Amino acid sequence: MISQTKIAFLWLIPLIFIFNGIVSQRQSEFNEIKHTVLIKHPGEKYAVKTTLTEVQNEEGLPIEYYMDVKSVICLAEVCKVIPVTLYWNNIGGYQNYRLQKGTTLEKYEADLFEPNDYKKLHSILENQNSPFKDIFIEDIWTVPSTIGDQGIDAVSGATILQLDDKDTVPGAALTCYTLWHWANGNIVSVIKKKTGESTSIEQLKMFISNKNEVYFDIALSVLKEKNNYYKPFVEAIIQRAANEDNLLRETFDYLENATPDIYLQAILDLFLQGAKKQKLAAVRSLNNSEVNISKTYLDSLSKELNRLKSFQEVTALLELMQNKNPNSSVVNQNVVPLLDSNFLIARRAYWFLTNQKLDNSQKERISNFYKIHKQKL
C-alpha cells in the first residue's frame, strides 16, 4: 500500500512542473537588462551612480523600468533611510513604489506612516505638477533641536515649509520631496533615451503613430540620432504633424537636420497638407534656413498665395519671397491678384509690390490701388 508521504509526493510532482513552467514562461516572455546610470537629484550635490533595470517583452520592447533609491536625503545624518523600489513605464511615467518586506517609512520624531499615508505618497508621486517640483531641499530641512536619550534617533528634520495637506504627508515632507524627485526628475529623460535605444525599426514606426506624443518624440529623437530619413518615416511624420500642431517643434527639429533635398520636399509637403499653424511654421523654417533654396522652388510656392486664408499666412510668405526670392516676375504675377482681396491682405500685397521690379501693367495696377486707398495706406 502506498504511504501517505508517497501520495503527497506524487501530488506535488505536477505542481512542481506547473510552477517551473510558470517561471520558465516568464523568463521567456520578459528579459531584464541592467543599466549603470548617473541620475541628478536636486537634493544631492553630485549625480548619483545607480542601477536602472529595463524590463523587455519577448519582442525586445521595453515595457517597464525599476530602480532602488533611498527614501530620504539626510543632510545631518539623523534620518532613517529606507530602500524604496520605484517603477516606471517605458516613457518614464511613474507607476508605483515598493518597500522591502518588514520596513516602514517614518515621519518627523519617529512617527510611523499610517496605511493612508502610503496611499497619499503614491498620489503625490503620480502628480507631475506637485509643488515639490519648484522647492529646494533647504526649504524643507531643519535639524531637530534636541536628540533623545538613545542618541541620534531615526527621524527627519522638522518641516519649515508650509504645504497643503493634499500635497504632502504631514511630518514627512522631506521623504515626499526626495521620492518625488527620484520618480519625476532626471530619470524620466534617461528612461526615454534607453527606450529609444532598445526600440527596433518596426517598433519606431508604431511609436510614430501612437496617440501618446511622448512616443512620437522618442521616435524622432532616435531617427535623428541615427540620421534615418527614409521616405516611409518622413511621410508618416509629415502626415501626423500635418494634423497635430502640438508636434511641430519636434517635427521641425528632426526635418531641419535632413539633407537639403529631403528637407525642402518635406517642408513643402507639410505646408501643402497642413493648416494655418503648419503653414506658418513651414515658412518660418524656410526663412531661417541656411539651405540654398532654388528660385524654381520659391516661385512654385508663391502660387499658393491666393489659396491662403489669413493675413498672417500671406505676410509670412511674402516676407520669405522678399528675403529669398526678390524681384521674381512669377512671384509678382501671383501677388497682383491679392490687390482684390480683403483690405488688410491687399494693403500688404501693395507694399510688397512697391519694392519689386514690375512691368508696366503691374505698375498701373498699384497706381490705381494707391489712388483708391491712399487715405488708408
pLDDT of residue 149: 45
- Predicted model pTM: 0.79
pLDDT along the chain (377 residues), means of 10: 42 38 48 96 94 95 96 73 96 96 84 93 95 87 48 42 81 93 97 95 94 96 96 96 96 97 98 97 98 97 96 98 96 97 96 96 95 91
First CA to last CA distance, the chain: 113
What is 199-292's CATH topology?
Leucine-rich Repeat Variant (1.25.10)
Angle at 170 between CA 166 and CA 174, to 5 degrees: 105
pLDDT of residue 169: 92
pLDDT of residue 19: 36
- Grid cell digits, residue 215: 512616443
Domain boundaries, the chain: 31-188, 199-292, 299-377
Q: Could you give the maximum distance between any two Cα atoms of the chain, in Å? A: 120
- 243 secondary structure, DSSP code: T
CB 301 within 8 A of CB 268: yes
pLDDT of residue 18: 35
Cα(237)–Cα(96) distance, rounded to whole angstroms? 33
pLDDT of residue 163: 78
- Grid cell digits, residue 228: 534615418
